[in-house]
Amino acid sequence: MAKFFALFNIIASAASIAGFFLAIQLANRNIWIAAAFAIAFLMCCYVLFVPSTKIENNVAGKLRHFRTHGGGSPSTEQTGEFSISAAGPTRIKFHTPFSSPPAVEAIHLPGKSGPLPTTLNVTVTGAEFRFHSYSTGSSRTFQWVAFGDALEPLEERSSDA
């Protein structure tokens, strides 16, 4: 999903740039077209090159909301941080177990960038990540996000039976 939005942003930015150059050629006829494309171009540059902007956080919040509340989507979100090195895989445990293995993502902490760890194995109680890095001694900190259906407490399950 993130790749789709990144691709969409690149295409939208390219269209904005192409439109901006077209607007420059037509600017003698209509200055409002050039102004609109200039604002759109500056906005695209701001979103793409300035980390953790209000716009980016707003979109991330909406994505999180629709992932967790929209039409049959997972009902529980858990987050946490973990440190990982290139030496080997790192296992994290969820705060509470899920009823089935959740969708798990590793994301950057605000203001950070670079390669992300790969999710190796996901169970109802945790996940395992591996970080592929060329420097063997480096350790980096990431945030994990898990989306899935919560495991019902034992007393609720036994009363339904």
Mean pLDDT for 5-22 is 75
**Residue 31 is inside which H or E element, if any?**
helix 31-49
Mean pLDDT for 8-27 is 74
pTM: predicted TM-score of the whole model, two decimal places: 0.51
What is the structure's pLDDT at 73? Answer: 46
Is 72 a residue whose pLDDT tops 50?
Answer: no
Give the helix, strand, coil percentages of the chain, each rounded to 5. Answer: 40, 25, 35
What is the structure's pLDDT at 18? Answer: 78
Instruction: List the beta strands (DSSP E) in the chain.
Output: 76-85, 90-93, 103-107, 118-122, 126-130, 139-148
Angle between helices 31-49 and 54-69 (to 10 degrees): 70
Q: How confident is the model at residue 67 (pLDDT cuts 50, 70, 90)?
A: low
